[in-house]
Amino acid sequence: MSSSPADHPVAYLSDVEGLWEKLESFCQDNPHVCLERGERLVVRPGSTFVFGGDAVDRGPEGRRVLRTLLDAWRRQPTQVVLLAGNRDINKLRLGRELNGHPLARTPADVRSGPRPALLRWIFENTMGARGAFEFRQVELARAGEPASDEDVVASFLEDVGPGGVMRDYLAACQLTHRIGNTLFLHGGLHEDSLGGVPSLALRVEGVDAWSDALNGWYREQIQAFVDGRLDERGTPAWEPLIAYQAPVPGTRVNTASVVYGRMANALNHPVLPSPGLISTLAAAGIHRLVVGHTPSGDCPSLLREGGFELLLGDNSYGRVKGASRVFLRDDSVFVEGDVVLDDGREDRLRFQLALGDESLPIGRQLSDTGQLVKGPLMSGDWLLFRALKGYQVEQVAVPLDSLEGRTLVSPRVGG
């Protein structure tokens, strides 16, 4: 079996979050996706590019990233797949909240104050996007556009208005996508999300039928936003989509959502789906689930059990500036990404693994420490990963022979 990324024709990237250098580094020397003249994203013949969602919020090139991804989709719609992330969808709230309909929990002084103060409050307190206001200010100034506080507000409203880049981007997105035996989602998949479509009282049987129905519902919700539809009480007809992409009120999770669900435990340590869910997916011919949304260190986490794989490819909140790279085909995955170890050393994870190959400990977890075996490093050591309290992570390198004789288990909640 070839170990070359060139022979894995599906290229996956997620959670760029307004940082152009992540998109740029992903495309550098990439056999499937390139940036022509440093700006125009092109997918090579025979390849597919999947962007897993969350294009904006945490860097000063959010609009640039959106325009680049949208332009690529418009030119190559059969080769570019865009998944909608929560950081993308939640911008649909701004048109109403900045024009007289703020959230009920908005403080009175913020509610009655200037719109820039309200927008800053929205970002920091309801979108997990501290700094997004200032990042947009920088982006406007770099483009030679007016960049006052009011100009920033106007720019975000423009983004979701007619012809706006975020509105058009979301119209090009979907919530799920299947390629062969691989299912792509932004957030995660759980028993209460598989088969669930918010507009339907009964669950949809069959993974493919459910995926089609969920994507259809998403398109209907985006169209309701474009049309500005309100119900008889004045509630936006797209409110169900806003709820779907957010945590359940009073909690930090939403397992009924493929956008805000997480394949992780309470510490954000990666975990596999339940055995029952894996069996349901396998019956539909799906043996790999690929998600973003949940950070798991500097490089992707591949979790395995038998003939099933879960890959978490979120690129946010790492110690490195560039993005990791994931290349896929039905029978194999190729993963590479830079990592800064706890002791400050820099290294690079790089491996190819056949689906169902259990000869290596990649994707298994040490039962005594709870550390995930991520894979081999270019230095010759192996990377172990563990999520810690306070959103901290542990990334350590050990010799492969130090893993011999130690009990390996499937990474699961309580495992």
Q: pLDDT digit string (tens) for 214-240?
A: 999 999 999 999 999 999 999 999 999
Residue 60, pLDDT > 90, answer yes
pLDDT-based confidence at residue 414 (cuts at 50, 70, 90) = low
Closest C-alpha to 247, from 260, 232, 229, 231: 260
Question: Domain for residue 200, yes or no?
Answer: yes
Residue 98 lies in a domain: yes
Q: Give domain status of residue 378, yes or no.
A: no
Average pLDDT over every residue of 50-72: 99
pLDDT in tens, 7-56: 999 999 999 999 999 999 999 999 999 999 999 999 999 999 999 999 99
What pLDDT digit, counting tens, does each position of 168-217 carry? Answer: 999 999 999 999 999 999 999 999 999 999 999 999 999 999 999 999 99
Confidence at 251, pLDDT banded by 50, 70, 90: very high
pLDDT (tens digit, 9 = 90+) per residue, 74-115? 999 999 999 999 999 999 999 999 999 999 999 999 999 999
Answer whether residue 371 is part of any domain. no
Q: If you average pLDDT over residues 284-302, what whole number do you get?
A: 98
Q: What does pLDDT average to over the chain? A: 97
pLDDT category at 4 given cuts 50, 70, 90 is: confident
pLDDT higher than threshold 60 for residue 265: yes
Residue 229 φ then ψ, to 5°? -70, 135
For the CA atoms of 374, 285, 264, 16, the dihedral, rounded to the nearest 10 degrees, stands at 70
Helix axes 165-172, 149-159, angle to 10 degrees: 30
CATH number of the domain bearing residue 139: 3.60.21.10
Name the residue range of residue 298's domain. Answer: 5-108+117-145+158-353
Q: Identify residue 267 by its one-letter amino acid code.
A: L
Question: Which residue reads 């945490």 in tokens?
Answer: 58
Q: What is the predicted pLDDT for the residue at 76? A: 99
Q: Is the pLDDT reported for residue 411 higher than 60?
A: yes
- Confidence at 368, pLDDT banded by 50, 70, 90: very high
pLDDT band at 255 (very low <50, low <70, confident <90, very high): very high
Q: Tell me the percentage of the chain whose pLDDT exceeds 70.
A: 99
Predicted pLDDT of residue 6: 86
Is the pLDDT assigned to residue 415 strictly greater than 70?
Answer: no
> Does 80 map to a domain?
yes
**In the predicted structure, residue 247 carries a pLDDT above the cut 90:** yes
Indicate whether 1 pLDDT > 60: no
Is 409 contained in some domain? no
What per-residue confidence (pLDDT) applies to 142? 98
pLDDT digits (tens, 9 = 90+) for 332-356: 999 999 999 999 999 999 999 999 9
pLDDT in tens, 124-163: 999 999 999 999 999 999 999 999 999 999 999 999 999 9
Give the global pTM.
Answer: 0.97
What is the 3 state secondary structure string of the chain? CCCCHHHCCEEEECCCCCCHHHHHHHHCCCCCEEEECCCEEEECCCCEEEECCCCCCCCCCHHHHHHHHHHHHHHCCCCEEEECCHHHHHHHHHHHHCCCCCCCCCCHHHHCCCHHHHHHHHHHHHCCCCCHHHHHHHHHHHCCCCCCHHHHHHHHHHHCCCCCHHHHHHHHCECEEEECCEEEECCCCCCCCCCCCCCCCCCCCCHHHHHHHHHHHHHHHHHHHHHCCECCCCCECCHHHHHHCCCCCCCCCCCCCCCCCCCECCCCCECCCCHHHHHHHHHCCCCEEEECCCCCCCCCEEEEECCEEEEECCCCCCCCCCCCEEEEECCEEEEEEEEECCCCCEEEEEEEEECCCCCCCCCCEECCCCCEEEEEECCCCEEEEEECHHHCEEEEEECHHHHCCCCEECCCCCC
Identify whether 199 is part of a domain.
yes
pLDDT of residue 2: 54
What domain count does the chain have? 1
pLDDT for 21 equals: 98
Residue 386 placed within a domain:
no
